[in-house]
Amino acid sequence: MPNILLTRIDQRLIHGQVATQWNSHVGANLLLVANDAVAADTFRQGLMNMAAPSSVQTRYFTIQKTINVIHKASPKQFIFIICDNPADVVKLVEGGVPIDKVNIGNMHMAEGKRQVATSVAVDDADVAAFKRLQELGVKLSIQRVPTIPEEDLEKLWK
């Protein structure tokens, strides 16, 4: 069973907050970005590698590759998965990736979305994905950084 310490939804993927505050908080030695577009974009990977701590490995896998290889992870790998959106997390869980908790951290405001928390904007598809994750037994939390309290999860459903 892979050692998945946390899965975070953050549209910025690997950046300062994830690399320093969140990674220090969870103690991962592997940052795994599960995102189809970034898996094929070496330029973006390079930018994210610059933000990642030098003591931590990074991997950029498609959603399907993550599903295919996560169970081959070494017991010495302490994995922090970062996804762009809740639909991708649903695909991972339904594909057999043993995710039991998801931190909802940063989902940008865009057309058709509504702001529901400090740094979280959702549309109906996002809400449906979060409900599906709960049905699958995944614990959800809204928290921008680990040093501030979690926000009320009920904000997602309003």
* Helix, strand, coil percentages in the chain from 3-state DSSP, rounded to 5: 40, 25, 35
What residues contact residue 130 under an 8 Å CB cut-off, 6+ apart? Answer: 86, 104, 122, 140, 156
Say which residues have a Cβ less than 8 Å from residue 104's Cβ, sequence separation at least 6.
8, 9, 86, 117, 120, 130, 140, 141, 142, 143, 156
71 as an active site residue: the answer is no
Give catalytic residues, as residue numbers: 15
